[in-house]
Amino acid sequence: MYKNILVPLDGSESSKNALSQAIKLAKKENSKIAAVKVIPSYEGEMEISLAPDIEESIRKPAEKILEEADRMADAEGISIDTILEEGVVHDEIINVAQLRNCDLIVMGRSGLSALARAFMGSVTARVIGYSPIDVLVVPKDAVLKWQNILLAADGSKYSEAATERVLDIAQTYGGELKVVSVIDVPDEAYAEIPDVIDKMAEGARDIVKSVKDRAEVSSIKTAVFVKEGDASKQIIDTANELGVGMICMGNYGRTGLKRLLMGSVTEKVIGHATCPVLVVKLQQ
Protein backbone atom coordinates (compact mmCIF):
# COMPACT_ATOMS: atom_id res chain seq x y z
CA MET A 1 0.00 0.00 0.00
CA TYR A 2 2.52 2.60 1.19
CA LYS A 3 5.99 1.46 0.21
CA ASN A 4 8.24 4.40 1.08
CA ILE A 5 7.58 6.22 4.36
CA LEU A 6 9.16 9.35 5.80
CA VAL A 7 8.88 10.33 9.48
CA PRO A 8 9.93 13.85 10.52
CA LEU A 9 11.25 13.97 14.09
CA ASP A 10 11.48 16.85 16.55
CA GLY A 11 12.34 15.06 19.80
CA SER A 12 8.79 15.24 21.20
CA GLU A 13 6.87 12.25 22.55
CA SER A 14 4.31 12.67 19.79
CA SER A 15 6.92 12.41 17.02
CA LYS A 16 8.47 9.42 18.81
CA ASN A 17 5.07 7.71 18.83
CA ALA A 18 4.59 8.56 15.16
CA LEU A 19 7.92 6.88 14.43
CA SER A 20 6.97 3.83 16.49
CA GLN A 21 3.69 3.44 14.58
CA ALA A 22 5.42 4.01 11.23
CA ILE A 23 8.08 1.39 12.02
CA LYS A 24 5.37 -1.17 12.75
CA LEU A 25 3.63 -0.28 9.48
CA ALA A 26 6.90 -0.53 7.52
CA LYS A 27 7.64 -3.91 9.10
CA LYS A 28 4.20 -5.25 8.25
CA GLU A 29 4.22 -3.90 4.68
CA ASN A 30 7.92 -4.54 4.04
CA SER A 31 8.23 -0.85 3.23
CA LYS A 32 11.25 1.42 3.19
CA ILE A 33 11.34 3.91 6.03
CA ALA A 34 13.42 6.99 6.75
CA ALA A 35 13.51 9.48 9.60
CA VAL A 36 14.47 13.11 9.08
CA LYS A 37 15.47 15.76 11.60
CA VAL A 38 15.67 19.32 10.33
CA ILE A 39 17.67 21.92 12.22
CA PRO A 40 17.08 25.60 11.45
CA SER A 41 19.81 27.51 9.70
CA TYR A 42 21.69 29.80 12.05
CA GLU A 43 21.69 33.30 10.58
CA GLY A 44 22.60 35.38 13.59
CA GLU A 45 25.74 37.42 14.00
CA MET A 46 28.54 35.66 15.86
CA GLU A 47 32.28 35.61 16.26
CA ILE A 48 33.98 33.28 13.80
CA SER A 49 35.70 31.53 16.70
CA LEU A 50 32.33 30.67 18.26
CA ALA A 51 30.72 29.30 15.09
CA PRO A 52 31.84 25.66 15.50
CA ASP A 53 30.61 25.53 19.11
CA ILE A 54 27.20 26.96 18.22
CA GLU A 55 26.84 24.60 15.27
CA GLU A 56 27.79 21.66 17.47
CA SER A 57 25.26 22.65 20.14
CA ILE A 58 22.53 22.61 17.50
CA ARG A 59 23.59 19.42 15.72
CA LYS A 60 24.33 17.25 18.75
CA PRO A 61 20.73 16.96 20.05
CA ALA A 62 19.50 16.32 16.50
CA GLU A 63 22.01 13.52 16.05
CA LYS A 64 20.87 11.95 19.32
CA ILE A 65 17.26 11.99 18.11
CA LEU A 66 18.28 10.14 14.95
CA GLU A 67 20.37 7.67 16.93
CA GLU A 68 17.30 6.84 18.99
CA ALA A 69 15.35 6.31 15.75
CA ASP A 70 18.01 3.80 14.70
CA ARG A 71 17.64 1.95 17.99
CA MET A 72 13.85 1.85 17.73
CA ALA A 73 13.97 0.38 14.23
CA ASP A 74 16.68 -2.09 15.19
CA ALA A 75 14.53 -3.31 18.08
CA GLU A 76 11.83 -4.19 15.54
CA GLY A 77 14.32 -5.89 13.26
CA ILE A 78 14.12 -3.45 10.36
CA SER A 79 16.55 -0.96 8.87
CA ILE A 80 15.91 2.76 8.74
CA ASP A 81 17.68 5.60 6.96
CA THR A 82 18.30 8.62 9.18
CA ILE A 83 18.76 12.04 7.63
CA LEU A 84 19.90 15.32 9.14
CA GLU A 85 19.01 18.42 7.16
CA GLU A 86 19.34 22.14 7.72
CA GLY A 87 16.91 24.83 6.59
CA VAL A 88 13.23 25.75 6.78
CA VAL A 89 11.69 22.76 8.52
CA HIS A 90 8.58 22.09 6.44
CA ASP A 91 10.41 22.82 3.17
CA GLU A 92 13.18 20.34 3.97
CA ILE A 93 10.72 17.64 5.04
CA ILE A 94 8.88 17.91 1.72
CA ASN A 95 12.15 18.10 -0.24
CA VAL A 96 13.42 14.90 1.37
CA ALA A 97 10.09 13.16 0.73
CA GLN A 98 10.21 14.09 -2.94
CA LEU A 99 13.89 13.24 -3.44
CA ARG A 100 13.31 9.79 -1.91
CA ASN A 101 10.06 9.22 -3.85
CA CYS A 102 8.14 8.73 -0.61
CA ASP A 103 4.42 8.05 -0.80
CA LEU A 104 3.56 8.78 2.84
CA ILE A 105 4.69 11.24 5.51
CA VAL A 106 3.89 10.22 9.10
CA MET A 107 3.90 13.03 11.65
CA GLY A 108 3.18 13.36 15.33
CA ARG A 109 0.66 15.76 16.83
CA SER A 110 0.66 17.24 20.29
CA GLY A 111 -2.05 16.60 22.86
CA LEU A 112 -5.51 18.09 22.93
CA SER A 113 -4.57 21.68 23.63
CA ALA A 114 -6.38 24.63 22.12
CA LEU A 115 -6.41 24.50 18.32
CA ALA A 116 -4.28 27.62 18.00
CA ARG A 117 -1.54 26.00 20.08
CA ALA A 118 -2.00 22.44 18.85
CA PHE A 119 -2.04 23.08 15.14
CA MET A 120 -2.33 26.60 13.78
CA GLY A 121 0.96 27.71 12.25
CA SER A 122 2.71 24.47 13.16
CA VAL A 123 5.14 22.50 11.03
CA THR A 124 2.45 19.83 10.66
CA ALA A 125 0.05 22.35 9.15
CA ARG A 126 2.61 23.55 6.66
CA VAL A 127 3.65 20.05 5.63
CA ILE A 128 0.02 19.14 5.01
CA GLY A 129 -0.59 22.38 3.16
CA TYR A 130 2.29 21.96 0.75
CA SER A 131 2.92 18.21 0.56
CA PRO A 132 2.01 16.55 -2.75
CA ILE A 133 1.79 13.16 -1.02
CA ASP A 134 -0.45 11.72 1.70
CA VAL A 135 0.19 12.79 5.28
CA LEU A 136 -0.75 10.70 8.32
CA VAL A 137 -1.01 12.67 11.58
CA VAL A 138 -0.73 10.57 14.75
CA PRO A 139 -1.72 11.95 18.18
CA LYS A 140 0.73 11.40 21.02
CA ASP A 141 -0.92 8.34 22.58
CA ALA A 142 -2.68 6.93 19.52
CA VAL A 143 -2.11 3.46 18.07
CA LEU A 144 -2.29 3.07 14.30
CA LYS A 145 -5.12 0.76 13.23
CA TRP A 146 -6.19 0.19 9.63
CA GLN A 147 -9.08 -2.21 10.12
CA ASN A 148 -11.84 0.25 11.09
CA ILE A 149 -11.79 3.54 9.18
CA LEU A 150 -14.13 6.52 9.00
CA LEU A 151 -14.17 8.26 5.62
CA ALA A 152 -15.43 11.85 5.63
CA ALA A 153 -16.94 12.38 2.18
CA ASP A 154 -18.29 15.57 0.61
CA GLY A 155 -18.46 14.68 -3.08
CA SER A 156 -15.49 16.86 -4.12
CA LYS A 157 -12.61 15.62 -6.26
CA TYR A 158 -10.45 15.73 -3.13
CA SER A 159 -12.93 13.51 -1.34
CA GLU A 160 -12.90 11.21 -4.35
CA ALA A 161 -9.14 10.78 -3.97
CA ALA A 162 -9.65 9.88 -0.30
CA THR A 163 -12.37 7.40 -1.27
CA GLU A 164 -10.04 5.61 -3.70
CA ARG A 165 -7.34 5.41 -1.04
CA VAL A 166 -9.62 4.16 1.71
CA LEU A 167 -11.10 1.46 -0.51
CA ASP A 168 -7.55 0.25 -1.20
CA ILE A 169 -6.81 0.23 2.53
CA ALA A 170 -9.99 -1.66 3.38
CA GLN A 171 -9.24 -4.27 0.72
CA THR A 172 -5.65 -4.64 1.89
CA TYR A 173 -6.51 -5.11 5.55
CA GLY A 174 -9.96 -6.65 5.25
CA GLY A 175 -11.34 -3.89 7.42
CA GLU A 176 -14.74 -2.39 7.95
CA LEU A 177 -15.50 1.01 6.44
CA LYS A 178 -17.67 3.76 7.87
CA VAL A 179 -18.68 6.72 5.70
CA VAL A 180 -20.07 10.03 6.91
CA SER A 181 -21.27 13.08 5.01
CA VAL A 182 -22.23 16.21 6.95
CA ILE A 183 -24.80 18.87 6.11
CA ASP A 184 -23.20 21.97 7.58
CA VAL A 185 -25.50 25.00 7.44
CA PRO A 186 -26.53 27.64 10.01
CA ASP A 187 -29.57 26.82 12.12
CA GLU A 188 -31.53 29.76 10.69
CA ALA A 189 -31.16 28.33 7.18
CA TYR A 190 -33.56 25.51 8.03
CA ALA A 191 -36.41 28.00 8.33
CA GLU A 192 -35.34 30.28 5.50
CA ILE A 193 -34.40 27.78 2.77
CA PRO A 194 -35.87 24.40 3.70
CA ASP A 195 -36.00 23.23 0.08
CA VAL A 196 -32.29 23.84 -0.33
CA ILE A 197 -31.56 21.93 2.87
CA ASP A 198 -33.64 19.01 1.65
CA LYS A 199 -31.62 18.94 -1.57
CA MET A 200 -28.38 19.03 0.41
CA ALA A 201 -29.57 16.11 2.53
CA GLU A 202 -30.47 14.18 -0.60
CA GLY A 203 -27.04 14.96 -2.04
CA ALA A 204 -25.32 13.76 1.15
CA ARG A 205 -27.28 10.50 1.04
CA ASP A 206 -26.26 10.03 -2.59
CA ILE A 207 -22.60 10.59 -1.71
CA VAL A 208 -22.47 7.96 1.02
CA LYS A 209 -24.56 5.52 -1.01
CA SER A 210 -22.17 5.84 -3.93
CA VAL A 211 -19.22 4.97 -1.70
CA LYS A 212 -21.10 2.06 -0.15
CA ASP A 213 -22.03 0.67 -3.56
CA ARG A 214 -18.41 0.79 -4.70
CA ALA A 215 -17.21 -0.80 -1.47
CA GLU A 216 -19.68 -3.63 -1.64
CA VAL A 217 -18.51 -4.53 -5.15
CA SER A 218 -15.22 -5.38 -3.43
CA SER A 219 -17.01 -7.15 -0.55
CA ILE A 220 -16.06 -4.43 1.94
CA LYS A 221 -18.49 -4.23 4.82
CA THR A 222 -19.72 -0.62 4.94
CA ALA A 223 -21.98 1.49 7.15
CA VAL A 224 -23.04 5.00 6.11
CA PHE A 225 -24.16 8.06 8.06
CA VAL A 226 -25.54 11.49 7.20
CA LYS A 227 -25.16 14.06 9.97
CA GLU A 228 -26.24 17.67 10.40
CA GLY A 229 -24.28 20.41 12.14
CA ASP A 230 -20.72 21.66 12.33
CA ALA A 231 -18.79 19.40 9.97
CA SER A 232 -15.61 18.96 12.01
CA LYS A 233 -17.52 18.32 15.23
CA GLN A 234 -19.81 15.80 13.57
CA ILE A 235 -16.88 13.94 12.02
CA ILE A 236 -15.01 13.77 15.34
CA ASP A 237 -18.13 12.81 17.30
CA THR A 238 -18.95 10.08 14.77
CA ALA A 239 -15.39 8.73 14.99
CA ASN A 240 -15.60 8.62 18.78
CA GLU A 241 -19.05 7.02 18.82
CA LEU A 242 -17.98 4.30 16.39
CA GLY A 243 -14.57 3.74 17.98
CA VAL A 244 -12.76 3.91 14.65
CA GLY A 245 -9.02 3.46 14.37
CA MET A 246 -8.52 6.20 11.79
CA ILE A 247 -10.22 9.10 10.02
CA CYS A 248 -9.53 9.53 6.31
CA MET A 249 -10.11 12.86 4.55
CA GLY A 250 -9.21 14.63 1.33
CA ASN A 251 -7.56 18.02 1.18
CA TYR A 252 -6.30 20.58 -1.27
CA GLY A 253 -2.88 20.15 -2.85
CA ARG A 254 0.16 22.40 -2.95
CA THR A 255 -1.79 25.67 -2.98
CA GLY A 256 -4.03 24.77 -0.06
CA LEU A 257 -2.08 26.25 2.86
CA LYS A 258 -4.17 29.41 3.20
CA ARG A 259 -7.37 27.39 3.14
CA LEU A 260 -5.87 24.90 5.58
CA LEU A 261 -4.98 27.64 8.05
CA MET A 262 -8.30 29.46 7.84
CA GLY A 263 -10.48 27.19 9.91
CA SER A 264 -11.00 24.39 7.42
CA VAL A 265 -12.76 21.19 8.40
CA THR A 266 -9.58 19.18 7.85
CA GLU A 267 -7.58 21.43 10.16
CA LYS A 268 -10.12 21.20 12.97
CA VAL A 269 -10.43 17.43 12.69
CA ILE A 270 -6.67 17.00 12.82
CA GLY A 271 -6.41 19.39 15.75
CA HIS A 272 -8.94 17.57 17.92
CA ALA A 273 -9.28 13.94 16.80
CA THR A 274 -8.05 11.34 19.28
CA CYS A 275 -7.25 8.81 16.52
CA PRO A 276 -4.81 9.16 13.60
CA VAL A 277 -6.00 11.23 10.62
CA LEU A 278 -4.94 10.37 7.09
CA VAL A 279 -5.02 13.36 4.72
CA VAL A 280 -5.09 12.07 1.15
CA LYS A 281 -3.69 14.30 -1.55
CA LEU A 282 -5.12 14.61 -5.04
CA GLN A 283 -2.37 13.50 -7.40
CA GLN A 284 -1.71 16.14 -10.03
Class of domain 145-276: alpha beta
Query: Which residues make up the CATH 3.40.50.620 domain(s) of the chain?
Result: 1-142, 145-276
Instruction: For Cα atoms 103, 105, 109, give the angle at the middle one, nearest 5 degrees.
Output: 160
Please say if the pLDDT value at position 109 is more than 90.
Answer: no
Q: What is the mean pLDDT of the chain?
A: 86
How far the first Cα of the chain sits from its last, in Å, is 19
The rounded distance, in Å, linking the Cα atoms of 225 and 242 is: 11
Of the pLDDT bands very low, low, confident and very high (cuts 50, 70, 90), residue 254 is very low
pTM: 0.88
More confident residue, 246 or 258: 246
Query: Does the domain spanning 1-142 belong to CATH 3.40.50.620?
Result: yes
